[in-house]
Structure 1
Amino acid sequence: MTATTAPLDVDLLLASARDKTGLFEFGDDWFLEPLGVLVAALNEQARLSELGHELTRRRLIALLADRLRLRALQREHPEILDVEPVVAAVICGLPRTGSTLLHRLLSAAPKLTSTLSWETSYPVPFPGEGPDAAERKDRARQRMAAFLELSPDFGDIHTVTWDAPEEDVILLDRTFTSMSFDSFYRVPGYGDWLRSADQGKAYDELRQWLQVLQWQDPGRAGSRWVLKSPHHLTAVDTVLDTFDGSRIVMTHRSPVRAVPSYASMVRAMSAQYSDSVDPVAIGRYWSDRFATTLREFTAVRARRPHRFVDVRFDAMVAEPAGQARRVLDALDLAPDGADDAAFESYLDRDRRERDAAHSYTAEDFGLSRAQLERDFAAYTEVYL
Structure 2
Amino acid sequence: MPYWLLGTLVVSPFVDGAGMFSASPVVQFGAYGVALPLAAVTALFPLARPMSVAAARTLCGVPAERFADGPARSRAARARTAGWFTLHVGMGGLVSGASLALPPFAVTLMVVPFSATLRESAVAEFWSLDQRWLVYGGVPAGLAMLVALAAAAAGAGALLARQAPLLLGPTPADRLAAAERRAAELAVRNRLARELHDSVGHALSAVTLQAGAARKVLDSDPGFVREALAGIEETTRRTVGELDAVLGLLRQGEDDGELPGRPGLEALDALLAATGRHVSLTVEGGGVAGVPEPVSREAYRIVQEGLTNAARHAAGEPVSVTVVRYEDELEITMENPLPARPPVARPGGGLGLRGVGERARLLGGTAGARPVDGVWRLTARLPLGEAAR
Give the TM-score band, short-chain normalised: under 0.3
TM normalised by structure 1 equals: 0.19
**Which protein has the larger Cα radius of gyration, Structure 1 or Structure 2?**
2
TM normalised by structure 2 equals: 0.19
